[in-house]
Amino acid sequence: MILPFSTIVNSEEETVQLATTFAAILKAADIVALTGDLGTGKTFFVKSVLKYFGIEEVTSPTFAIVNTYSGDVQINHFDFYRIKKVVELYDIGFEEYLSDSSAITFIEWAEMFEEILPKNIYRIDLKYIGKSKREITIGIK
């Protein structure tokens, strides 16, 4: 996959294929920021990537803020949607999660606290086009 990359997927199956292709380039210490409106498939995309790493049981971290999974590699999965203040992230050790060189970290709703994210991380933007049709853009910023 050459980045930046943008495509339109027409089904969940195509999203899974794209997520699997993306997963193959990930390595420990990578950070992936996901943006997109409610219902665009951010969690579905993350679940599809995690299957590549042998992790089948994935739940949205909306209420927990962060879920951690162990598979072929450790995964930290954040959801900023319910965070009101950046101090809440510092209180749970967000910086320590980001500095964990043995884990891949996914952050949904990353645009809410863009100012605390490091540079040179993967950015995935999902845009709703139709019932199961999405524009997915992947880059590094």
3-state secondary structure of 94: helix
**Whether 128 contacts 37, CB under 8 Å:** yes
| Model confidence pLDDT, tens digit, residues 54-97 | 999 888 877 788 999 998 899 999 999 999 999 999 999 999 99
Cα distances from 131 to residues 9, 16, 41, in angstroms, run 11, 16, 11
Looking at residue 132, its pLDDT comes to 87
Instruction: Give the integer Cα–Cα distance in Å for 80 and 123.
Output: 15
What mean pLDDT comes out for the span 102-123? 95
Can you give the pTM of this predicted structure?
A: 0.94
Question: Which residue has 């292709």 as its token pair?
Answer: 21
Q: Which residues are within 8 A (CB) of 34 and not within 5 positions of it... i.e. 6 or more apart? A: 42, 45, 46, 106, 107, 108, 109, 110, 124, 125, 126
Q: Which residues are within 8 A (CB) of 36 and not within 5 positions of it... i.e. 6 or more apart? A: 42, 125, 126, 127, 128
Could you tell me the end-to-end alpha-carbon distance of the chain, in angstroms, rounded to an integer?
A: 16
Question: What's the structural domain count of the chain?
Answer: 1
What mean pLDDT comes out for the span 10-32? 97
Looking at residue 63, its pLDDT comes to 76
Instruction: Supply the range of the domain harboring residue 39.
Output: 5-140
Number of H helices, E strands in the chain: 4, 7
Look up the CATH number of the domain holding residue 55: 3.40.50.300
